[in-house]
A and B are shown apart, each in its own frame.
Chain A
Amino acid sequence: MADVPEPESDEEEPETDGGVRAYTVRLELVDEPGELLRALEPISANGGNLLSIHHERGNITPRGHIPVEVDLESPPERFDGIVDALRDAGINVIQAGAEHYGEELSVVLVGDLVETDLSETLSRVESEADAVVKDLSLAAPEGTNATASARLRLAIDSGRAKQVFEAIRAIGTDKQLTVVEPLLGGEA
């Protein structure tokens, strides 16, 4: 925690309409001493007010990290700054407020989807690519033991599409699945 109180005067406070909102931020922490404290510091330092911390110590993510759910209050216009500060500090932010997912994108996976454990693929997409799978359509015209296709509708944080698809590509390489990504950039 900062030793000195934040030197912010009243006129530097952004217009908030007097309103603050409650947000839930889901983090993934490395299982090391001091990690939780390190994760909370950027929240208070950027104008967030901690409401509660749910530290799921017994519940390990597929990557061996510990999920932590933090409820906080902040003026809406400062919330992005809090999430950015967390990411800048190297904290893995899984989910930041329900409305924070700025983009919905589709991706098509092709291969032995059932054989290679579709549900494990989906949970890896969620944990390793930081995306939420909102919807899944599966087409397996030759039966579930043959090549199948799946369309995933993903909710991802604004501006993170590049990293999300990099991670999905790596999962595809790992599981020998063809990944058909959306084309990003340019004007259609």
Chain B
Amino acid sequence: MAISKSKDLLGQLSQLERTVSEFSFEELNTNDANELKDSFNSFRNSLEKHIYSPKTAQIAHKKNETFDTVKKEVSEKQFIANVSHEIRTPLNSIIGFANLLKEEKLTQGQHKKVNAIQFASNTLLNLINEVLEYSKISSGNTNFESVEFNLHSLLKDVMFLCETLIVDGKVELLIDIDENVPKIVKGDPSKLSQVLLNLLGNAVKFVDRGYIKLEVFTKQRNDNEFLVEFSVADTGIGITQEKIDTIFNGYTQAEDDTAKKYGGTGLGLTITKEIIEKLNGEIEIDSTVNKGTTVRFRMPYTLGKTTKAPINKLQKSTDKIDSELLAGTEILVFEDNKMNQHLIVEQLTQWGCTVHADIDLDKGLYLLSSRKIDLILMDLKMPGQNGFEVSKAIRDHKNSRVNSVPIIAFSADFTEQDSKDCKEIGINDFLLKPYTLDNLLNIILKNKEIKNEQTDFSSILQKPMIEPKETTVLDLNHLMKDCFGEIDMLNELVKLFKLNAIEFIGNVKIHLKTQNLKEVALSAHKLKAGFAMIKAEGMRNLIIELEKSCKTNQPEKVEELYEVFLSDYPILEDNINKSLELMNKK
């Protein structure tokens, strides 16, 4: 595993280097370019040092002769973990500076090359994160916990999440829990969800039509110890026995080229297998090509003693009164992990909150200054961006509207140092993962109140928004049809549309200052067609209203509508980007 993955890593790296060296930094002549170059060089040096340093070579050599292979493997994994970890820091600077570089005035050719740098470094980062996770688990550096949890609720949560992943209704998701399966068990709930999400997520990826079925039953019972058998069956494309062998054994058999074949995602099942085995479980795959796949795994659990185990149930009974209190709350979520992000957005939306997730620092700051955000949820240990740094940047912002929003941090582990750092930065509260929905609800309510005290009555003035605001809704499908399904044309039109909207914002700002309502009306008039094209009827009506108010000479109303436009347009644009991204993927 270690060697083939390292090879892959080196391959990616030389691709990255090729792109960087083809890039004409001299032409660019900016500080960013130099810093990017420096970062890259230090990155390469640190990597080379790690791979070729005499110390490691010596150890590897010695091991071959004297130590048994198991120990060698562990040490190799440890080594890879260390290397991967240290590569991430300079790699993050490469990505960061490439982002900055993109904001400069670049020629088309340069722009393309920066894109290539970004693409290669992001691929590399994903690969490193996977390698890191794998080696963490297999070298025993992951903490496994043993707590009581509600197994039935966990299964329902997982299924609920998977349902949201199925886009077209052609795949049915079935669940069958045997009545003998106990409710409260003792074990590691977060690892179980990770395993299930991985297997079900894979199934969703490879099944076009038919069903995906999760069956759970208890296999064997000795007093309060028992095995729970999980089976994930699907009607997908299936996999050959050869591939199954590679996935399950291949990575440990060193020099193998399969890693290349499976690209960056090949580790998912291997990680799953490692987790199950670390928890003293077993896993097997049964698959027929073009018919489907069944993955079975068994995990030992002990019977939970209390019935007061954390309730990780989704909505339903979660008291209506509490969730009503949250309706209309607007929350920023910094969470890199897509699954967690998805889950938290689903839940908060059900509580009636407006949620902005999938954001980076820049976008977050923009939203904080342009909207009335009540609360920030911050994952401290994000692989891509550091939660401490993001929080600090928010607290250091000069705009009091931005820097005063309460921040709740969450993390899977929380050390003394973390606690100190949080206090220093000004993070208001924290939540330990895995948290229950009650935990989440309570901590949000608690911290939202702090904000309410600070801002007096401003939050009372805010109307609750349970439904997405009309002005932020759109539908690109119509325009896509007008483009005869040509995605490039659609991309082009959307780009033009966004430019028009920005031009409108600027024009109106200028003409409102001089009370030139005629010009404002003209700008509004021009924007109408665009909103009609993307079927953003709510926003189009707002623009029509604004144009009318200009013609009937009501400057106050014009200004009021313009304010609404300013606050809602970013969300609309965000929604445009999201649906465009989806269409591009298709």
Q: Do A and B bind each other?
A: no
Residues of B bordering A, CB below 8 Å: none
Residues of A bordering B, CB below 8 Å: none
